[in-house]
């Protein structure tokens, strides 16, 4: 068991580490014999500590990506951004997106707040569906690694994503852009207008429209999937009351509609022992689907179990989200102290329909929806800098309400009916099939509601102990109260009433616990797999309140005019909650999780500010890490991993090689280890051993590649008066990693190297660019999950579906600026 690592061995010892580290070192240092004509690097300003600072003066491991880089590289969302920022990932899963920093992120459960939280103009966007929001008219995105509870709070236990949207300008300006990709008919249109409206009032309006046809072929429906239509609009008004008081009102709305999902069945195992082994033995899940298609007379398509961007589903899957955010920001002065107030209202609703059996016939479809509202208020006071002591402090309040509903639908015209008919024809020998047939015409509903109130106060102070040494102490106190209810029931869709026998069958299929109400009498048709039992509606309602104190300490030393070294200790906290998706009555509540992280870093300027090289080493101890596990049927449940450690090294740098040539470099080494945790075994392990819980001690977590890194080159050359050539190359590497929650070895994503490139012609007024994404055409799986019902009763044929990222694309982008 490893509790510490040797940083030099980690960097140079392993074959992959040696190649990556040496390549990174050569890429930086071999390019450093800079000529006297090379420009100095432009200073990067960030607000990682809630005030504008140079990136090189911030004692945090931070990566910042400018709005210009986002536009030129065609970075459309967080998934694209992850190729440019080491130790940051976005994974699209069966239940929604997950954001991760240093291997830490929330599991797939609607009750979770994200452990890596977005903050858009100082407003927390902690819910997972909001990670789907597209990028539009950003000034910059900052990725802050490690706990950020003191100044950001709101569960940012893994890190924070600070987004700054573009502000209204003092002079009139505008931009229109269009982007087109042929293979999947991707179309992106953006328009921006900004400038003064009156003497004291300025405004900015940004509009974005995106669509694509999808990159999967559905063999059953004949559709291309997942087709997407997106629309976003944002308006900002800034009113300068006087020299001391400014208000900014922002209103934005985004809507996304998609059909189908980017997943396909690719790993199939033959059916083993089970009550229906006489019918299914030796067949894989897709082969069982073809057999059932013959029984029902349906053409189910063909799942060949090979990854080839083909899928077979018969339900018109859909996914919709609409989100609205209104933020009022007031900035003023109280003597020499800056006062900032941020008031925000946020709401969104989602609707999704999933063909969760992943077959081209009717077995099981699931609908789910979320309706969320959030009100927040932050008041912040910031002292001036330049003296022996500076500080920042304030208070925060947030109220939120979530309603989540899900329905598992088994229609009349489906395979359960066909199996029931077959069972009746077999007489006593078909009792198992007859019992399964009782599950037709069923709907299992889940209603989850929760409310939360958060009160917090925070402060951070910096003492300048000498001209070169500083000490910063910060702390946040948080109190939160949550109330939640979860109701699960089943009913017959034909009669719109409870059906006891049907409910037993369906709840057994879905893995839902049955409560004791009274002995059932009508169970004669149920075989050994459906024993005589008890039934009632699953109805839970609980309240929890808790508080936390999360301090931090930072020491900084200016080793020279161009080098700063820092060491920090920070604690983090994420509140407990109530499981929205669990089917087990006794596992409704899950505990809070806590973290302590230790970080040692250095930030350096080299060669007369023509190069920068930053490094950070960290060790993080997590307790009661919140995890979500698939229950093997049709649900997920939440638990806590008692102990886990993540540690590693991060490097990033920039260098201006000449007047037109610059390079960026980043790399990360990550070591994750569960110190104590028992989680669900994979289905194949359970079939082989009969054991449901596996010891995860000593194992890595999902989404924790050991090595990752990127190298970027940007070249601009004047080729004629007013015209320049631009070329950009971005190469990113991600090591092998688990992308399936039970950490089943055959389901690892292989290491890959992704190449993006841009080439174009620019002038003061317009630009035209070719943008290539994933030019190496890597097969990248963001998430793998067991297909619902495949490995359990009645099929016992484990099958897995992978969620694959988009293959190689080349798009043409046109921009036009005016004033």
Percent of the chain residues past pLDDT 70, beyond the cut: 83
CA angle 623, 592, 671 (to 5 degrees): 30
Helix residue spans in 82-123 (DSSP H):
none
Buried-exposed string 125-149: b where 16+ CB fall within 10 A, e elsewhere = bbbbbbbbbbbbbbebbbbbbbbbb
Packed helices 285-296 and 415-426: angle between N→C axes, nearest 10 degrees: 70
User: Residue 745: CB partners within 8 Å, gap ≥ 6?
Assistant: none
Cα 641 to chain center, whole Å? 20
Residues 359-417 have pLDDT tens digits of 888 777 888 999 999 999 999 999 999 889 999 999 999 999 999 998 877 666 566 66
Strand (E) or helix (H) holding 686: helix 683-689
Q: How confident is the model at residue 430 (pLDDT cuts 50, 70, 90)?
A: low
Q: How far apart, in whole angstroms, are the C-alpha atoms of residue 282 and residue 269? A: 9
Task: Give the helix/strand (H/E) hosting 156.
Answer: none
The helix/strand/coil state of 487 is strand
Query: What CA–CA distance (Å, rounded) separates 47 from 643?
Result: 32
Residue 193's contacts (CB-CB under 8 Å, 6 or more residues apart) are 173, 174, 203, 204, 205
Question: Considering the entire predicted model, what is its pTM?
Answer: 0.89
3-state secondary structure of 52: coil
Using DSSP, state whether 305 is helix, strand or coil: coil
Position 741 confidence tier, pLDDT thresholds 50, 70, 90: confident
Mean pLDDT, all residues of the chain: 86
Residue 398 near residue 453 (C-beta atoms within 8 A): yes
Which residues are CB-neighbours of 566 under 8 A, at least 6 positions away?
A: 59, 554, 555, 556, 557, 599, 600, 601, 602, 603
**pLDDT of 705 strictly over 50:** yes
* Structure-token match 């930086």, residue found: 28
Q: Do residues 90 and 97 lie in contact, with contact meaning Cβ atoms separated by under 8 Å?
A: yes
pLDDT score of 13 more than 60: no
Q: How far is CA 462 from CA 51, 52, 173, 311, 571, in A?
A: 13, 15, 40, 57, 18
Whether the predicted pLDDT of 6 surpasses 50? no
| Average pLDDT, integer, range 758-762 | 96
CA 529/CA 526 separation, integer angstroms: 8
How many Å apart are CA 277 and CA 54, to the nearest integer?
67
pLDDT attached to residue 379: 98
- How high is the pLDDT of residue 529? 40
Question: Please, what's the b/e burial string for 165-186 (b: 16 or more CB within 10 A of its CB; e: otherwise)?
Answer: bbebbeeeebbbbebebeebeb
Q: How far is CA 783 from CA 98, 739, 805, in A?
A: 10, 5, 10
Mean pLDDT within 229-237? 98
By three-state DSSP, how is residue 687 classified? Answer: helix
Please state, in angstroms and as integers, the Cα–Cα distance from residue 706 to each residue in 336, 628, 754, following that order: 48, 22, 17
Query: Which burial class, exposed, middle or buried, applies to 347 when counting CB atoms under 10 A from its CB (0-12, 13-18, 19+)?
Result: middle
Listed range (74-83, 290-299, 400-409, 548-557) with the worst mean pLDDT? 290-299
C-alpha span between 541 and 578 (Å, rounded)? 10
What distance in Å separates the CA atoms of residue 652 and residue 143, rounded to the nearest whole number?
A: 13
* Better-predicted residue by pLDDT, 533 or 69: 69
Residue 503 confidence (pLDDT): 57
Q: Mean pLDDT lowest for which of 140-149, 166-175, 510-519, 769-778? A: 510-519
- Return the H-helix or E-strand segment holding 469: strand 469-492
Give the whole-angstrom CA distance, residue 448 versus residue 485.
6
98, 105 in Cβ contact below 8 A? yes
Q: What is the pLDDT of residue 343?
A: 98
Residue at token pair 């590649």 = 705
Give the single-character DSSP code of 385.
Answer: S
pLDDT at position 657 is 92
Which residue did the predictor score with more confidence, 640 or 807?
807
List Cβ neighbours of 479 (8 Å cut-off, separation of 6 or more).
454, 455, 456, 545, 546, 547
Q: Is-contact 324 349, C-beta < 8 A?
A: no
Which segment of 96-110, 276-290, 298-312, 337-351 scores lowest on mean pLDDT?
298-312
Cβ partners under 8 Å of residue 509, min gap 6: 439, 633, 634, 789, 792, 793, 794
More confident call, 445 vs 545: 545
Q: Residue 398: phi, psi to the nearest 5?
A: -150, 135
Check whether 519 has a pLDDT greater than 50. Answer: no
Give 99's strand partners.
Answer: 90
Query: If you count them, how many residues does the chain have?
Result: 819
Please tell me the least confidently modeled range out of 485-494, 524-533, 746-755: 524-533
Identify the top-confidence range among 222-231, 283-292, 408-417.
Answer: 222-231
- Choice among 58-72, 190-204, 212-226, 504-518 with the minimum mean pLDDT: 504-518
Pairing of strands 636-656, 96-101: unpaired
At 312-363, the pLDDT tens digits run: 888 889 999 999 999 999 999 999 999 999 999 999 999 999 888 888 887 7
Going by C-alpha positions, the residue among 644, 519, 637 that lies closest to residue 593 is 644
Band (pLDDT 50/70/90 cuts) for residue 635 is low
Contact (Cβ atoms closer than 8 angstroms) between residue 97 and residue 82 = no
Virtual CA dihedral for 8, 9, 15, 17, nearest 10 degrees?
Answer: -40
* Parallel, antiparallel or unpaired: strands 748-749 and 707-720: unpaired
Return the top range by mean pLDDT from 162-176, 262-276, 488-502. 162-176
The CA–CA distances, whole Å, from 497 to 156, 336, 361 equal 45, 68, 26
| Residue predicted with more confidence, 280 or 35 | 280
Return the pLDDT at 526.
38
Number of other residues whose CB lies within 10 A of the CB of residue 152: 24
Closest of 161, 157, 160 to residue 620, by C-alpha: 157
Partnered with residue 400 across adjacent β-strands are 374, 452
Interatomic CA distance for residues 24 and 34, integer angstroms? 18
What tens digit of pLDDT does each residue of 147-177 get? 999 999 878 999 999 999 999 999 999 999 9
Superfamily of domain 7-818 in the CATH hierarchy = TonB-dependent receptor, beta-barrel domain (2.40.170.20)
Q: What is the predicted pLDDT for the residue at 142?
A: 97
Q: Is the pLDDT of residue 461 over 80?
A: yes
- pLDDT tens track for 102-150: 999 887 788 888 899 999 999 999 999 999 999 999 999 999 999 999 9
Q: In this predicted structure, which of 226-230, 284-288, 480-484, 737-741 has the lowest mean pLDDT?
A: 284-288
Average of pLDDT values for 208-212?
97
On whether the CB atoms of residues 756 and 811 are closer than 8 A, the answer is no
pLDDT of 539: 76
For the chain, the 3-state helix, strand and coil shares in percent, each to the nearest 5, are 10, 55, 35
Note the pLDDT of residue 448. Answer: 92
pLDDT at 534: 32
CA distance 798 to 269: 5
DSSP 179-204: EEETTTTEEEEEEEEEEESSSSEEEE
């Amino acid at each position: 068991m490893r509790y510490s690592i040797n940083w030099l061995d980690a960097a140079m010892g392993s074959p992959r580490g040696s190649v990556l580290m040496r390549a990174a070192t050569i890429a930086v240092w071999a390019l450093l014999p800079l000529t006297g004509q090379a420009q100095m690097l432009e200073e990067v300003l960030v607000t990682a500590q809630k005030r504008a600072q140079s990136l090189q003066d911030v004692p945090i491991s931070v990566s910042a990506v400018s709005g210009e880089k986002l536009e030129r590289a065609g970075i459309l969302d967080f998934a694209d951004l992850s190729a440019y920022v080491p130790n940051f990932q976005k994974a699209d899963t069966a239940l929604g997106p997950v954001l991760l920093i240093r291997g830490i992120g929330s599991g797939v459960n609607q009750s979770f707040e994200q452990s890596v939280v977005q903050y858009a103009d100082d407003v927390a966007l902690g819910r997972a569906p909001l990670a789907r929001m597209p990028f539009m008219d950003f000034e910059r995105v900052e990725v802050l690694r490690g706990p950020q509870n003191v100044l950001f709070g709101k569960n940012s236990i893994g890190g924070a994503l600070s987004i700054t949207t573009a502000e209204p300008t003092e002079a009139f300006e505008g931009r229109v852009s269009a982007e087109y990709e042929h293979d999947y008919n991707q179309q992106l249109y953006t328009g921006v207008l900004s400038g003064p409206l009156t003497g004291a009032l300025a405004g900015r309006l940004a509009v974005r429209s995106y669509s694509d046809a999808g990159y999967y072929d559905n063999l059953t429906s004949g559709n291309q999937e997942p087709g997407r239509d997106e629309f976003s609009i944002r308006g900002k008004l800034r009113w300068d009351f006087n020299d001391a008081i400014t208000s900014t009102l922002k209103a934005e709305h985004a809507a996304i509609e998609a059909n189908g999902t980017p997943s396909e069945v690719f790993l199939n195992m033959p059916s083993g022992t089970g009550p229906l082994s006489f019918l299914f033995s030796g067949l894989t899940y897709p082969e069982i689907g073809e057999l059932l298609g013959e029984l029902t007379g349906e053409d189910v398509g063909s799942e060949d179990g090979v990854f080839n961007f083909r899928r077979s589903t018969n339900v018109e899957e859909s996914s919709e989200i609409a989100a609205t955010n209104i933020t009022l920001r007031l900035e003023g002065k109280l003597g020499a102290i800056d006062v900032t107030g941020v008031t925000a209202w946020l709401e969104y609703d989602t609707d999704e329909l999933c063909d969760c059996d992943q077959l081209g016939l009717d077995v099981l479809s699931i609908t789910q929806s979320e309706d969320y509202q959030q009100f927040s208020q932050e008041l912040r006071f910031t002292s001036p800098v330049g003296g022996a002591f500076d500080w920042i402090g304030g208070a925060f309040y947030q109220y939120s309400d979530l309603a989540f509903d899900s329905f598992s639908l088994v229609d009349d015209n489906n395979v359960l009916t066909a199996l029931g008919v077959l069972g009746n024809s077999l007489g006593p020998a078909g009792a198992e099939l007859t019992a399964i047939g009782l599950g037709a015409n069923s709907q299992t509903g889940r209603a989850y509601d929760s409310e939360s109130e958060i009160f917090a106060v925070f402060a951070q102070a910096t003492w300048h102990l000498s001209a070169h040494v500083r000490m910063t102490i910060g702390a946040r106190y948080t109190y939160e109260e949550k109330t939640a209810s979860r109701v699960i029931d089943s009913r017959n869709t034909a009669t719109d009433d409870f059906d006891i026998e049907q409910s037993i069958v369906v709840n057994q299929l879905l893995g839902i616990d049955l409560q004791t109400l009274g002995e059932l009498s009508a169970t004669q048709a149920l075989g050994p797999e459906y024993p005589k039992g008890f039934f009632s509606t699953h109805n839970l309602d609980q309240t929890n309140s808790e508080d936390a104190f999360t301090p931090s300490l930072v020491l900084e030393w200016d080793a020279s005019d161009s080098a700063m070294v820092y060491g920090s200790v920070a604690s983090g906290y994420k509140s407990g909650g109530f499981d929205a998706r669990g089917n087990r009555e006794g596992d409704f509540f899950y505990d809070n999780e806590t973290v302590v992280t230790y970080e040692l870093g250095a930030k350096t300027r080299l060669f007369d500010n023509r190069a920068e090289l930053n490094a950070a080493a960290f060790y993080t101890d997590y307790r009661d890490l919140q995890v979500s596990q698939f229950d093997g049927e049709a649900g997920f449940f939440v638990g806590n991993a008692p102990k886990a450690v993540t540690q590693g090294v991060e490097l990033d740098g920039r260098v201006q090689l000449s007047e037109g040539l610059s390079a960026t470099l980043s790399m990360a080494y990550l070591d994750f280890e569960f110190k104590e945790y028992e989680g669900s075994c994979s289905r194949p392990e359970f079939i082989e051993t009969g054991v449901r819980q596996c010891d995860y001690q000593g194992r890595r977590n999902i989404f924790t590649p050991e090595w990752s890194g990127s190298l970027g080159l940007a070249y601009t050359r004047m080729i004629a008066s007013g015209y320049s050539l631009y070329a950009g190359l971005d190469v990113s590497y991600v090591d092998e990693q688990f992308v399936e929650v039970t950490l089943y070895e055959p389901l690892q994503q292989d290491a890959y190297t992704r190449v993006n490139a841009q080439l174009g012609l620019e002038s003061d007024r317009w630009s035209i660019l070719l943008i290539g994404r994933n030019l190496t055409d890597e097969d990248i799986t963001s998430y793998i999950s067991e297909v619902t019902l495949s490995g359990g009763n009645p099929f016992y044929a484990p099958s897995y579906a992978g969620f694959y990222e988009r293959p190689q694309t080349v798009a043409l982008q046109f921009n036009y600026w005016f004033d």
